[in-house]
Amino acid sequence: MSESFTHDVLVIGSGAAGLTAALNLPSDLKVAVLSKTRLDSGSTQWAQGGIAAVLDATDSVEDHVRDTLNAGAGLCHEDSVRQTVSAGSDCIDWLIRQGVAFTRTEDSTYHLTQEGGHSHRRIIHAADATGHAVSQALCQQAREANNVEIFENRVAVDLITHRKLALPGNRCVGAYVLNRDVQHVELFKARFVVLATGGASKAYLYTSNPDGATGDGIAIAWRAGCRVGNMEFNQFHPTCLYHPQAKSFLISEAVRGEGGHLLLPDGSRFMHRFDERAELAPRDIVARAIDHEMKRLGADCLYLDISHKPEEFIRTHFPTIHEQCLSYGIDITRESIPVVPAAHYTCGGILVDEYARTDINQLYAIGEASFTGLHGANRMASNSLLECLVFGRAAAEDIASEVSNVPQPPQVPDWDESQVRDSDEDVVIAHNWDELRHFMWDYVGIVRTTKRLQRAKHRVDMLHSEIREFYSNYRVTNDLLELRNLVTVADLIICAALQRRESRGLHYTLDFPGQLPEAQDTILTPTSFMSKTA
Ligand SMILES: Cc1cc2nc3c(=O)[nH]c(=O)nc-3n(C[C@H](O)[C@H](O)[C@H](O)COP(=O)(O)OP(=O)(O)OC[C@H]3O[C@@H](n4cnc5c(N)ncnc54)[C@H](O)[C@@H]3O)c2cc1C
């Protein structure tokens, strides 16, 4: 018999969102925090730039709200933007109290930088490794908190709801979780469950995200009956290093800012054909131009060249990029850097309200897995970590106010493995992973057409049926679970993209290049898809 655990609150995910929720819960509640691998896995650890908040006397909440609304191309929910931005400076104070050492200026105030789309200096940061500093501080606090129990190497498989147990009501009471160390599925019961599983950029061949970004929480919530919103808005970073051994290494936009040229394989520049600002055009225009040229030429990558600048300048301005590229045999002071655009951020996700509550009672979703309405059709840089903090805290406060009304979870059966056996065909999983990420890149990437989306839909439907068969016959593994979730999330992205008959923000289709007069969210409801994706 496999192990079972009971807590007051089960937090699935240990990035900025999950740990913020866990650490803001009342200390008399017993909390479990799950992480797929190590506690500091997830995108949080890799965030470079910083966190946007109104921290300077010359800045204002109104200005931060306006900038966010402008970036979101008419689709941001203004109430959500206002809620997030207003709570910014409180959340930064809280992070400082947790031990995050943000970079200071010579007069000891905090140093603020400015990024694309922001009209003020408002990005607080810890050098160029903000995510690392946030993650390390929060992980340490979580390890020291007496009421928080940490479970690493645990992969949530599916939620347990009253609906699944054939009980009345619409309540979530826990999750089945694969323990990767012993390869057994365990039972985690809880009065409240918080999904904080991050984004889904691994659905694409090239991504800046770490391995676990497979949209698990979104797929899990969808299977349990939650609505999802705006899944068609995937943000692509224009320049990720293209090298067989390099995984997810970003070449900062500052390289273009400091005079770097984007080049075709024949060494010629091309950006001026797409935008008069050439290499300094906004990120989505640059990403689209690179994608267009790669597809036109059938090229595997294009190039970013800064080697015309003095060697000393390059070494002092870009020490990490210089060093990393050198480790792959590329000397950026002498040669150009092979680059491809890479999936970077999932703007859509599980639909939630201002307290991060989903469609199922006692189930919350926070961070990149959620859809709060903050980002609209395009995320503004450094607003995402802020969203993790604001909604992580909102979920904790709502749980604290509700806890006395919520009973202990009911009896739940153990995971049933009696009908399944070990897989002897793991090659099928590996093959399907590759196939999915390739067709998502080619057909559902930066520039879309209806025909390409329909092709992708056809393939994803076939993958669904193969995975369903695999899932019913074989013991679950992490790879199988991730693939199952990726197929579901890919389907949601394709369906949302097919529904949007316009180009807006990050969604660009050659068939509908204009923008409709009225901005509307794409909300998908599980009942209409359930038979296919369950
Ligand atoms: C390279 C890079 C640079 C970035 N720079 C910035 C920046 O400067 N500023 C900014 O605001 N944003 C930035 N972002 C985006 C930001 O980092 C993320 O949006 C944010 O960290 C997401 O936090 P999260 O807590 O929602 O999820 P994550 O930090 O991704 O954490 C997800 C957690 O869920 C766990 N998990 C996932 N699935 C399961 C499962 N099935 N079972 C159990 N656990 C599971 C993982 O193990 C992990 O612990 C950047 C992202 C990247 C990749």
φ/ψ (deg, to 5) at 442:
-75, -40
Give the E-state strand segments of 13-99 in sequence order: 31-34, 51-52
Q: How far is the CA of 471 from the centre of ligand 1 (A)?
A: 27
What's the pLDDT at 301? 95
Atom of ligand 1 lying closest to residue 19 CA: 25
Per-residue pLDDT reduced to its tens digit, 396-429: 999 999 999 999 999 999 998 888 888 777 888 8
Positive/negative CA dihedral, 400, 406, 407, 412: negative
What's the pLDDT at 531? 40
Atom of ligand 1 lying closest to residue 214 CA: 38
Give yes or no for residue 34 CB within 6 A of ligand 1.
Answer: yes
What's the pLDDT at 1? 62
* Strand partners of residue 4: 187
Per-residue pLDDT reduced to its tens digit, 445-457: 999 999 999 999 9
CB burial string 385-403: b at 16+ within 10 A, e below: bbbbbbbbbbbbbbbeeeb
Examine the pLDDT at 18 and tell me if it is beyond 60: yes
Q: How far is the CA of 458 from the centre of ligand 1 (A)?
A: 30
- Contact indicator for 365, 13 with CB cutoff of 8 Å: no
Crossing angle of helices 78-86 and 383-402, rounded to 10°: 90
- Per residue, the 3-state secondary structure of 253-309, as one string, reads CHHHHCCCEEECCCCCECHHHCCCCHHHCCHHHHHHHHHHHHHHHCCCCEEEECCCC
Q: How far, in Å, CA of 263 to CA of 216, rounded? A: 37
Q: How confident is the model at residue 470 (pLDDT cuts 50, 70, 90)?
A: confident
**Residue range 12-22: mean pLDDT, rounded:** 98
What's the pLDDT at 147? 98
Whose C-alpha lies nearest to ligand 1, atom 5? 47
Per-residue pLDDT reduced to its tens digit, 486-520: 999 999 999 999 999 999 999 999 999 999 999 99
Per-residue pLDDT reduced to its tens digit, 193-243: 999 999 999 999 999 999 999 999 999 999 999 999 999 999 999 999 999
Give the E-state strand segments of 162-270 in sequence order: 172-179, 184-195, 228-229, 234-241, 261-263
SS3 389: helix
Q: How far is the CA of 493 from the centre of ligand 1 (A)?
A: 19
Give yes or no for residue 260 CB within 6 A of ligand 1.
Answer: no
Q: How far is the CA of 167 from the centre of ligand 1 (A)?
A: 34
Give yes or no for residue 388 CB within 6 A of ligand 1.
Answer: yes
What's the pLDDT at 529? 52
Give yes or no for residue 46 CB within 6 A of ligand 1.
Answer: yes
- Contact indicator for 46, 162 with CB cutoff of 8 Å: no
Give yes or no for residue 198 CB within 6 A of ligand 1.
Answer: yes
Examine the pLDDT at 389 and tell me if it is beyond 80: yes
What's the pLDDT at 534? 40
Q: How far is the CA of 277 from the centre of ligand 1 (A)?
A: 32
Give yes or no for residue 17 CB within 6 A of ligand 1.
Answer: yes
Whose C-alpha lies nearest to ligand 1, atom 9? 382
What's the pLDDT at 19? 98
Atom of ligand 1 lying closest to residue 16 CA: 25
What's the pLDDT at 474? 87
SS3 157: strand
Residues designated catalytic:
283
Q: How far is the CA of 266 from the centre of ligand 1 (A)?
A: 37
Q: How confident is the model at residue 344 (pLDDT cuts 50, 70, 90)?
A: very high
* Token pair listed for 141: 């606090």
Q: How far, in Å, CA of 354 to CA of 208, rounded? A: 29
Give yes or no for residue 118 CB within 6 A of ligand 1.
Answer: no
Give yes or no for residue 484 CB within 6 A of ligand 1.
Answer: no
Whose C-alpha lies nearest to ligand 1, atom 27? 198
* Strand partners of residue 148: 31
Which residues have a Cβ under 8 Å from the Cβ of 189 and sit 6 or more positions away?
A: 4, 5, 6, 7, 10, 160, 173, 174, 409, 412
Which DSSP string do the residues of 436-468 spell out, in sequence order? HHHHHHHHSSSSB-HHHHHHHHHHHHHHHHHHH
| Structural Rg of the chain based on CA atoms | 23
SS3 54: coil
Q: What's 140's DSSP letter? A: H
Which DSSP string do the residues of 462-488 spell out, in sequence order? HHHHHHHHHHHHB---HHHHHHHHHHH
Q: What's 147's DSSP letter? A: T
What's the pLDDT at 528? 57
Q: How far is the CA of 1 from the centre of ligand 1 (A)?
A: 33
Q: How far, in Å, CA of 469 to CA of 44, rounded? A: 34
Q: How confident is the model at residue 116 (pLDDT cuts 50, 70, 90)?
A: confident
Atom of ligand 1 lying closest to residue 36 CA: 47
Task: Give how far Cα 187 sits from Cα of 7, 157, 478, Å.
Answer: 11, 10, 16
What's the pLDDT at 317? 81
Give yes or no for residue 196 CB within 6 A of ligand 1.
Answer: yes
Atom of ligand 1 lying closest to residue 20 CA: 25
Give yes or no for residue 216 CB within 6 A of ligand 1.
Answer: yes
Which residues have a Cβ under 8 Å from the Cβ of 217 and sit 6 or more positions away?
A: 12, 13, 156, 195, 196, 197, 198, 349, 350, 365, 369
Which DSSP string do the residues of 110-127 spell out, in sequence order? BPEE--TT-SS--EE-ST
**Residue 256: what residue type?**
R
What's the pLDDT at 416? 87
* Token pair listed for 358: 């989903």
Place of tokens 């990050």: 506
Atom of ligand 1 lying closest to residue 18 CA: 25
What count of other Cβ atoms lies within 10 Å of the Cβ of residue 58? 8
Q: How far is the CA of 368 from the centre of ligand 1 (A)?
A: 7
Examine the pLDDT at 395 and tell me if it is beyond 90: yes
Task: Give how far Cα 170 sits from Cα of 25, 194, 226, Å.
Answer: 23, 16, 11
Give yes or no for residue 51 CB within 6 A of ligand 1.
Answer: yes
Give yes or no for residue 215 CB within 6 A of ligand 1.
Answer: no
Atom of ligand 1 lying closest to residue 49 CA: 8
Q: How far, in Å, CA of 381 to CA of 390, rounded? A: 16
Per-residue pLDDT reduced to its tens digit, 40-51: 999 999 988 899
- Does the pTM surpass 0.75? The reply is yes
Q: How confident is the model at residue 533 (pLDDT cuts 50, 70, 90)?
A: very low
What's the pLDDT at 128? 77
Whose C-alpha lies nearest to ligand 1, atom 37? 197
Length of the chain: 534
**Residue range 287-303: mean pLDDT, rounded:** 94
